[in-house]
Amino acid sequence: MAPQSHIVSAYEAELAELDSKIAHMGGLTEQQLASAFDALVRRDPGLATRVISSDQTIDTYNREIEEKAILIIARRQPMAVDLRQIMAAMKVANDLERVGDLAKNIAKRALALVSEQHPKALMAGVGQMVDRALRQLKDVLDAYAERDAEKALAVWSKDAEIDALYNSVFRELLTYMMEDPRNIGLCTHLLFGAKNIERIGDHTTNMAETVYYLVKGTPLTDDRPKGDNTSSTVIEPKRS
C-alpha cells in the first residue's frame, strides 16, 4: 500500500529527491563496478582511467545526499518512516560510496595489469564474483526503491555465495602462485581485486539491513550466514 502524501508538498518533494539521488548514485556505482572489471579483462587503460576519475561523481552524490538529509532533519523534524528513510538514505549513500572506492581500486589494478597476460581460468572465477556482486547490488537498490523487505532479506542471505566463490578464487590464486613465481604479481593484484568484490558484497548486505529496517522499523537481528573463511585458510605447498 502506497503511503499517503504529506500535507506539506515541499517535504514530499524533498524526500522524493533524496530517493532519486540514491537511485542515480546506485546506478552509477553499478556501472563503475562493471566497467572496472571490463577494464581488467579487456586490458583497457582508457576505460580504467575513466572509472578512476568518475569516482568523484559518486563522492559528490554522497556529500549531496548527506547535506540534503541534514537539511531535512533540521527543517522538518521527521518522524517514524520519514526519519527512517532519511537515516537509510545516509547509510546507503555511505555504503555506495565505499563500493565506488572499491571499484576504483579494481580499476587501478586493471591499469597496473595492462601489460600482463591474464589466464582465462583465473578471470572466470573473479568474473563470477563480479556478476554475483552486481546482481546483489541491483537487487538491494531495487529493494530500497520498492521498499521491499523480503527482497532485502534475500540479498542479505545470498552474500554467502559470494564468500564461497571468494574462498575458491583465493585457493586457486594461491595454487597458481605456487606453481610459478612469475604469476605472483598478477595473482596478488587479482587477489586484492577479489577481496574488493567480497567487501562490496559486505556493503551490499549492510544496505540490505538498512532497507529492512527502513521498511519494518525493527533491525535484522539474526546472525548472517558468513562464508568467507580465507582468514584461516592454509595451503600447503606440494612437496616433491
Partner 1 sequence: MTIEVKVATKPSSQVTDTAPAAKVVARNVNVHYGDKHALKDVSVDVPQRSVMAFIGPSGCGKSTFLRCINRMNDTIPIARVSGKITIDGADIYDSRLDVVQLRARVGMVFQKPNPFPKSIYENVAYGPRIHGLAAGKAELDSIVEASLKRAGLLGEVKDRMGDSGTSLSGGQQQRLCIARAIAVGPEIILMDEPCSSLDPIATARIEELIDELRANYTIIIVTHSMQQAARVSQRTAFFHLGHLVEEGETSDIFTNPHDKRTQDYITGRFG
Which one, 9 or 231, has the nearer CB to partner 1? 9
Closest listed residue to residue 62, CA positions, set 4, 22, 121, 120 = 22
Which one, 74 or 121, has the nearer CB to partner 1? 74
Residues contacting partner 1: total by CB under 8 A:
18
Per CB under 8 A, which of residues 6..45 are in contact with partner 1? 6-8, 11
Which one, 10 or 114, has the nearer CB to partner 1? 10
Grid coordinates belonging to 180: 610459478
Kindly write out the interface string for residues 83-122 of this chain, putting x where it contacts partner 1 by CB under 8 A and - elsewhere. xx--------------------------------------
Q: Give the integer Cα–Cα distance in Å for 154 and 1.
A: 21
217 belongs to the binding site for partner 1 (CB under 8 A): yes
User: Least distance from C-beta 80 to partner 1, angstroms?
Assistant: 5
Closest listed residue to residue 222, CA positions, set 209, 203, 231, 204 = 209
Kindly write out the interface string for residues 63-82 of this chain, putting x where it contacts partner 1 by CB under 8 A and - elsewhere. -------------xxxxxxx
3 belongs to the binding site for partner 1 (CB under 8 A): yes
Q: Residue 185: which residues within 8 A CB-CB, separation 6 or more?
A: 116
Per CB under 8 A, which of residues 132..171 are in contact with partner 1? none
Cα 150 to Cα 127, 155, 212, distances in angstroms:
27, 9, 8
Return the number of other C-beta atoms located less than 10 Å from residue 93's C-beta: 26
Which one, 112 or 149, has the nearer CB to partner 1? 149
User: Least distance from C-beta 11 to partner 1, angstroms?
Assistant: 7
User: Least distance from C-beta 68 to partner 1, angstroms?
Assistant: 18
CA atoms within 13 A on the CB side of 31: 14
Instruction: Please tell me what DSSP assigns to residue 119.
Output: -
User: Least distance from C-beta 148 to partner 1, angstroms?
Assistant: 18
Q: Which span sits near partner 1 by CB under 8 A: 5-13, 105-113, 118-126, 164-172?
A: 5-13
Which one, 6 or 118, has the nearer CB to partner 1? 6
CB-based contact 140:207 (threshold 8 Å): yes
In this structure, what is the dihedral angle of CA atoms 124, 126, 131, 134, given to the nearest 10 degrees? -160
Cα 30 to Cα 154, 168, 203, 210, 234, distances in angstroms:
19, 24, 13, 18, 33
Q: Which residues bind partner 1 (CB under 8 A)?
A: 3-8, 11, 76-84, 217-218
